[in-house]
Structure formats: C-alpha cells, structure tokens
Structure 1
C-alpha cells in the first residue's frame, strides 16, 4: 500500500536520533518543537492516529531527549498515546506515516520496534511499577543509568500507580516520575485526585512562594551541598505547611512543580537539575492536551484520536464517504441503556474512565445520579458495581474486554462467588484493529466461561444486543456478560420494543448438508455471507446462531449431531478455551459424536491493522470460512 510521506521542517529533517538533537543550541529547541508539532499534525491529518496526547507533550519530549542520554537512560511512557514525538525523534520519522497501519509502526511504544522503547505499553498506569523494577535492576548492576517515567494525571487514578509510588518511596530508589497534568485521559478526569491537582496548580500563594524560594536559591545544580540541603528543607517545609505536594511527599517523593510543560526551556532546566538529585522525585508539569491545534484544544475528547483525514487548519473532516453509516455497537448499547433506565429506576451504569468509548454519556446526561465514571480504576469499578447489586440495583458495567482482564479477581470474588447479578457490557470484544495486541479483546470468552454463576452471551446484531440487555436487566440469579465488537453494527431496522430472550438458546438460520457452522456473536454475519457464496457453487452448509457460550444450547447441539456429519465453530476470540472448546467439551462426554473443527484466533500475538485485514490474516473472514468448509469436505470425504 502506498502512503503519502510528510516533509519535515529544516531542523527536524536533520534529527535522526537524540544525538542529533543534542547538537543543537538550547535556543533552537523552540523551533524544533514547532516543527515536531507540525509534523505530527500533518501526518495524522492524512493517515489518522492518536492525536491530542502527543501534541500535549511535544516540549516535554524534546527536553527529555535533549537532557537524558537515551537509550542508555531509560524513558517510559505510560499508555503510550503520547509517544508520537518520541518515535519521530528516535529514528522512525521517515516511516512514521505507517503508524498504526497493517505491517507498519505500532501506535504505542513497543520493545521489539526500537531500543528507545524501553517498555511495551497500551494499558495505563504501568509506568511507575516498570520504572521501579528497572531502577532496582540498575542498582543491582551498579550502573549509572537514569530512569524516568511519564504518566498522566488520568493514569494516576489507578491503584497500580499508587502501589508503585508507595513501594518506590519506601525503597528510596533513584527514579524520576513526570506527572503530565492536563485534566484529561480520553474523557475529562474525575475524582479527588483531580481536585487535589487543580488546587495545586491554581494556588497563587503556594506558587508565588515556591517561585521566590527557587529564584533565591538559584539552580540546584550550581549550588553547593549545604545550599542543596537548605533548599530541600525549605521545599519540604513549604509543601508540608501549604498542602500542595504533600501527598507525594507522604509517599516518599521529592515534589517539584507545578511547571509549565509547554515551555521547553523551563522543562530543560528542571530536568538538568533533577538529573543530579538522587532518590525518588516527582516533577509536576501542567500541559494542554491537543496543544497547538485549536480544534483539539477546544474538543479534547473528540480529538483524542482520528481515523479519517481532516483539514489541518480547520479540523473539518475530509472523508469522501458521506453516505449514512450503521450505528456502532457501543451506540446501540448507549441508546438501549437509557431506554431501559426510563422504565426501571434501579438501573445504574458504571464505566472506568470510558464514558465516550463505551457510550455511557447518554445515560450520564439524562440520569447523572445513576451513571458513574469511576476513573481509570477497573478493579474498583467491578467491586463498586457488586456493591450496587448487593443493595438491589441493576448494575450495568460498561467496560472494554481488554480492561476487564485487569479486574478478573473482582469478577470471581466480588461478583460470581456472591451470585450478584452484575451485567458486564463488554465492548471492543475480538480483534479491535489499529490499537493492536494491547487492545484486542480475545480472551473474555475463555476467562469468563470457566467462572461459576456467569452467563456468557454475544449478539448477532443490534436487535439481539438490545434484547440481551433487556433480559439481563430482569435476571437476578447470576452475573451476565454480553460481548460485542468495536465498530459498526449491521445497520438493520430493529424494532423499538424489547423482548425477552430465552437464556441458553440458539436458533437455526439455515439448513444444510453434512456441515453445520455454529457461530457465536457478530461473526455469524460473516458466516451468512460465506454460506450464500458457497450455495452458489452447490455447497450447502447449515448455520446456527448460538448466542450463548454459557449455558450452551445442548439440545440444539444434539439435534445438529443427529442431522450433520461435521461441526465447525467460529468466534471472534482465542480458539483456546472459548466457545468452540465449550462445544467440544460437551461432545467429549458423549459416547458417539461427530468431529468438531474450531475456528478462532490462533494462539499467538496478532499485531495491528484494520479489523478486516486482521480477520483475513487469521482466516476468520468470509473467504477463510469458505476455505475451511472446502477443507473439511475434502479431508473428511463429505459430499457438498
């Protein structure tokens, strides 16, 4: 595939590594930042990608690579949405146009991609833990390398970040944490930490006193040892007496800031000072997500990422496809939960920092007292939902499949063991596309199917999603998981009223000869397409939309076994332990059963690309289904 390359500015054109950046005078860094920001805007406006986060840390990125000796000194980016500038400065500028494309650069830092990517990320709040591990390894090796982690204030709301800080402070390891404070993750941040940081950044008394002390003492680097001790005592006294920074001090960190994260000279000077100060340190940098691109500054959630081309001046979409598109599955969920809540005041919604991605905003806007964004706190979100359910509320936990993995213990201990009827609305199930392996939702069928007191279901289309949600809202015996993929639904005209769905029951969509395909979830639409094509060449397969991986429709499977000679199962998840395994396990207990071929994602890491490209790669697209049917016919000597 041909990709349009972007021409960098004159200074950026000569930067092929941080060593080239270090050849410049400090006064030239402002121009480098301008060129780097323009390069990111130009590239994403054509090729798409995460956007606002990287624009917000341009100056920070330039200053870090200018001051530190990367890759010897280790630099970690939390989540990695903000690492575009880092990639461009570390030898990947000329191939940056392949970012998030099939076979191209990853949208996140990736250890196998570059020695500058010290730790692979994609989920939030891991950077401090990893940085501490690296710092301890450095100490054991008696090395002098520096370790720095950049983490956003949204990612700081996760318990993992505080667990790591508590440990790092106690160990007194030499590590620098840069808190990138922009009041945003993907949606606006929530919670007490946000209010605490806001108080710090808006406290005129504290900031004026801090600046006066800093000016009086001069740069730490040029001060003598005695003056450094005085500075440390004064700084500690100020933060203890006036509150800002006290939280981080209590965790054992020296606190510095807040500083202007968009002043590259200020960032450079602070980093030069902090590089020579031992122990755990936290630099609080205030930034604006989307800095330098007005539309992104105004609408930060909308401009977190862009998938289609846009005008780099106005931000107006340049997508030539103006035809009406089917709704996304997440929007079908968002509409349905409001309709259900209209009729049942016990319905509540919970999401861990993804009200936009999970489409909980409609409920939050209409019933703000019954919809909760708990921040980047997946474990807490599930136990919080369990507490609501324990008191009679019908808790819908809207969460990405890959994020639910983080709360698996809570699913078992706090929901399933207590038979609490939490409803898990699992978005981004299956292969998600350009976000790649850290975001693929491939394991939820397997890791939920083996949990007692758990229903595991997946709709074929919009109508079934709505009816599953309705039925789950009336079910009080156990938890219920409803998984659906990222992206567009079928576009069908579904009825407005909800109807109950019989639990654990599938349906026959098509009768056939010899081969029966049992599909779980929206991949059944691929089966319909493949079966239509096969019928044109005289191959008639049966197709059964199973709807439930747990409980299985064993009565329907028994009927299939009496009518057909071979079963093919298909699902948008790992083929290990999923829906196909459930069918095979059931038949294994039967004295005589027909063969089963399981189609699912193979046992390997699948990289990034469009969903269609990835489905084709793993053989789960309509052509892959047609090929598998022909293989079965041949290998088992069956008639078409």
Structure 2
C-alpha cells in the first residue's frame, strides 16, 4: 500500500522539503485526516477544513517557528497542529489530558500565542513584531484572522496602532463570510462588495496605512504561495485578503456551515450527522432562554434581545426569526453589546443581553460604567456558565460570580432548573430596580415539562430543598442536582440560595443559628464567589460556625468532559459526599 505523503511530514521543516506540485496531494490527505478524526472524536470542523491550503502555504513559505504564526480564536488551527508534530496525538484533541482544541504556548513552540477568544491576534503579533525590532531580529509575524473577528473593536485597535509603525506584520484576512453564525455588519457588506468588484480599491485597510493585496482564492495553493513569497519582501504592515469556503472538502459542511462548525459525531464518508435515538430529553438551557424570550416578547412590546455573534449558540435565533426587528446580532463586539443595551434601557426598552459567561469578561468596564453606575435595568443572560467541557480553559465560565459580585446595583440569580430560568426571565421583564445577571450552564436541564405557567419570584429569597440535622449545605444553580445525589443517605439539610446578590439574610441567620457546620457548593471559582459571600456574611454578623467552601480551585481548569472535570475539581456527587462525610 502506497504511503501517504502526510505520513512523512512531522514538522514544517519536512514540509518545506516537498516539491510545490506535491502540496495539492498533501492538502487532500490533510483534509481527510481531519474529517476522519473529528467524525469520531468531535471538535471544530468547518473552520479547519477551510484553511487547509492556507495552513500548508504558510508553513511552506515561512520559517516557522522562528517566524511567528498566530491563529485568531484558533478554531481553524487543526491542520496547523497536525503539521507541527501533533499528528500522532491529534486523536486526543479536546479530551482529558490530551491536546487543546486551541493554540497553546505550553503545548508547542509552533503555537506562538494562546487563543480562544477572538480578535487578539493582531495586537499580539504587533507586540511580537515591535519586540523583534527592538532586539534587532529579522523575523516575520503573521496573524490569521477571520472576517467575523476583524470586525471586533480590539482588532481595529490593533490595526490602528500597526498602521503608524514600520513593524514587520502580515495580517491575513481569512474571509469566508461566517464565524460560527454568518458574519454581520457594515464591514461584512464592505468585504462582500470588494469580492464582487463593486467596491473601489482605495479601501479601509489602505486608509489605515496597510499595504493591501487581494482578494485571492485561498484554495489555490500556487497563488497563495506566490503571494506570500512576494509579501515577504514588502516592508511594514500589510494585509492579504484571502477568500475561503468554510467546511471545504465535505459537502454537508460547505452547505450547512453553522451546523458543521462543531457538528458532534458524524459519518466521515457521507458527512451525515449521528442521529440521536428518539427518546424525549429535557431541553437545553439555551433553548429555554430562546423560546421564553419569544413568549415574553409577544406579551411585552418593549423587550429586545441582543447577542454578540452567538444567535445559534444562545438560541436568540428563535426571536430573530419571529420578531427580527427586536433581536440584534451585533457581531463579535461584547463591549458594544453591553453599552447598546444600556442605551436601550435609558429609553424604556427591556434589553435581554445574552452573552456567554467567558465572553462577558471582555465587557467588564461597560457593565460597571455604563450599566451599574447609571443603575439601568439591563437583563444579562450568561450562557455557558460554570465548566463547559472540551473547549477548556479559555471557555469555562467559572469567574462570573466573582467578577460580578463586587458591582453595586446588580442582582445575581442562578436558576436550579429550567422552570426557575423561565420564572426569573418573567420576573425581570416586569421591571426590576436594578440590572440582573442570570447565569446558567451549557447543555440540557432536568425537566421534561418545563413550559409551566410563569410565576413571580421574590428577589433575594432562597429555599430549603431537604431537612436534616447534622449540617447545612448551601448551593446555587444546577450543581444542586449533584448535591441531592451526594446527600441521599445523609442526615443533612440542603438549601438552594438562588440569589448570590442580594443574599437571603433572614434564611442565613436561621441556618447559622441552627447548624454548627455550613458547606457552600458552587460551579464557580471559590476565590471571591458564592462561598466568599457566605463567609463575609458570617464575619459581618460575628458567627463562629465552621464554613467549608467547595468550588473551582484557584487554578485554570483544562479541557475534558464536564463529568471528568467535575471529578477533577471535586464537584461530582461522590466527591461532594466524601467531603461532607468528613465534616459530620
């Protein structure tokens, strides 16, 4: 059997020994390799398939890792990983103790910068280029950024600075008109016009003092290699506009680019997705949000929905389909999303701003300065809160309770199940005195008949779930499920506090007077989180009870399934049970 070309390539040095005419064969083999492994192991598919030729060309033309190559976000870096010494372990991608699904400096010298959140590559590559200049080094610095990411404010900040430097920086705009969902906004229309030839060449990039070239076909290896070689000789900041097709090489992935961004398991030959057996399952929390906001918006004409580039992931797409003039995808622009919501709130609208917990970190100043300081009633819905699984450290939403709890004029609610999520959304849109953050996890809930009539919730009120004698466990959110299992056969009480802010102080006084030992459990960093709030209450009221905090330890948690990671940090039911038994 003839040996694959790919089998002979373990480093870019070996790749550079190939004849240029052999590279198209390598591209086909690399595509098939990615498809075959992602089909069974899952991961981000479409983005990596779209840049196979570009990946090969970059490592062929540039002297990596001496020349520094950055992949924005990093969804598209699978081919890069396979060609840089990780082919034999690529099957461990995104699995516990395996390689990361994103570029990571500690994993390989070829991963020049860790990515996972968008629009950081230009700033980082410019920083490297300035460092090279100061050190007298003659290196190339390349940032590969998508058309969805370049529309972000941070990317423009990087371009704006780079344009007044003589840094040896090459920005490659990978233009495929889609991020996870289709790209949006005026810049996307502008790039489309350039591709169609209806836009004049004195474009926005040249106005920022970049040497602009393109657009070129990103799947034509000879053209890409030729242009990259030419750009190596061009001084100063430059941008190459490359047109690619997300999902290239797998028909279904090209046709349904949203679904095949990260499709789960599928048939490598046909591309057909693995079909779940037709058993009725509880809904995903994102869908509870998505259907509930539509239901509420039909009753309340002031409700608007906002998401920064995640209409499918947040399920705001349901509102965008049914009430399009009141649902807004603002692109990868979390800061803008928050302040846009604040502006709407000043005019009497009821904005639901849906942002993944990990991405709301990018808009921290706007939450404080534009929302809370002005005491505007914005409703933040924080999807993907807690441990998110295989996306790992860049995506876990485990800091939100800590970074939000110190902000005045902000209510924090953590629903235990789908019904609670519906009820807090209903309560919030009736008019709260302050803004509210509602945080809920990735994945499915626990309730089949979740579409129950709305109930008004009392702000700042917790509830008892189980009566016992020996100690009290306090929790917030869906981690209550693990606790219920952990204490099935134990004589302990369990309280769902529901609100991290304001705390139910009446209930807490009762608990501290009744039990000697208190255990707090949260799917959040223990540093500064829900447990810290309980300790602050105890200190302020001079209680001397034993208080044990269970949560995410003070370190970054890597990737693996949510169940595996919960075991790792002690948040699974067995670990919780073992901890409680030591305290009884």
Displacement after TM superposition at 1:495 (Å): 4.6
Matches within 5 A, 1:54-93: 54-93=48-87
Corresponding residue for residue 367 of structure 2: 411
Displacement after TM superposition at 1:49 (Å): 0.5
Alignment: residue pair count: 584
The runs of 4+ residues in structure 1 deviating greater than 4 Å are 319-322
TM-score (norm 2): 0.98
Please tell me whether the aligned partners of residues 172 and 252 of structure 1 are also in contact (alpha carbons under 8 angstroms): no
Please tell me whether the aligned partners of residues 94 and 559 of structure 2 are also in contact (alpha carbons under 8 angstroms): yes
Which of 434, 439, 442 pairs up with 2:398? Answer: 442
Displacement after TM superposition at 1:324 (Å): 2.9
SS of structure 1 residue aligned to 2:212: strand
User: What is the distance in 1 between the residues matched to 2:318 and 2:3?
Assistant: 43
Which of 242, 249, 255 pairs up with 1:285? Answer: 242
Corresponding residue for residue 129 of structure 1: 123
User: What is the distance in 1 between the residues matched to 2:188 and 2:414?
Assistant: 36
User: What is the distance in 2 between the residues matched to 1:174 and 1:579?
Assistant: 47
User: What is the distance in 2 between the residues matched to 1:589 and 1:422?
Assistant: 30
Corresponding residue for residue 596 of structure 1: 547
RMSD (CA atoms): 1.3
Corresponding residue for residue 306 of structure 1: 263
Q: 1:520 to 1:9 in 2, by over 3 A?
A: farther
User: What is the distance in 2 between the residues matched to 1:301 and 1:118?
Assistant: 28
Deviation per residue, 1:425-475 (Å, 9 max, x gap): 000000100000000001110111110100001000000000011111112
SS of structure 1 residue aligned to 2:163: helix
User: What is the distance in 2 between the residues matched to 1:65 and 1:8?
Assistant: 25
Structure with bigger gyration radius: 1
User: What is the distance in 2 between the residues matched to 1:596 and 1:198?
Assistant: 59
Q: 1:575 to 1:8 in 2, by over 3 A?
A: farther
Displacement after TM superposition at 1:319 (Å): 5.3
Corresponding residue for residue 201 of structure 1: 195
SS of structure 2 residue aligned to 1:94: coil
Corresponding residue for residue 522 of structure 2: 571
Which of 66, 78, 93 pairs up with 1:99? Answer: 93
TM-score (norm 1): 0.90
Unaligned runs of 5+ in 1: 1-6, 205-241, 634-640
Which of 46, 49, 56 pairs up with 1:52? Answer: 46
Which of 581, 584, 603 pairs up with 2:535? Answer: 584
Q: 1:495 to 1:181 in 2, by over 3 A?
A: closer
Displacement after TM superposition at 1:531 (Å): 1.3
Please tell me whether the aligned partners of residues 420 and 476 of structure 1 are also in contact (alpha carbons under 8 angstroms): no
SS of structure 1 residue aligned to 2:223: helix
Corresponding residue for residue 207 of structure 1: none
Displacement after TM superposition at 1:594 (Å): 1.4
Please tell me whether the aligned partners of residues 424 and 480 of structure 1 are also in contact (alpha carbons under 8 angstroms): yes
Q: Hey, which of these two has a bigger chunk of helix by percent?
A: 1
Which of 231, 246, 254 pairs up with 1:274? Answer: 231
Corresponding residue for residue 251 of structure 1: 208
Matches within 5 A, 1:232-243: 243=200
Displacement after TM superposition at 1:497 (Å): 1.4
Deviation per residue, 1:120-167 (Å, 9 max, x gap): 000000000000000001001111111101000000110000110010
Which of 497, 503, 525 pairs up with 1:552? Answer: 503
User: What is the distance in 1 between the residues matched to 2:358 and 2:476?
Assistant: 19
Which of 508, 513, 537 pairs up with 1:562? Answer: 513
Please tell me whether the aligned partners of residues 8 and 35 of structure 1 are also in contact (alpha carbons under 8 angstroms): no
User: What is the distance in 1 between the residues matched to 2:357 and 2:41?
Assistant: 26
Corresponding residue for residue 345 of structure 2: 389
Unaligned runs of 5+ in 2: none
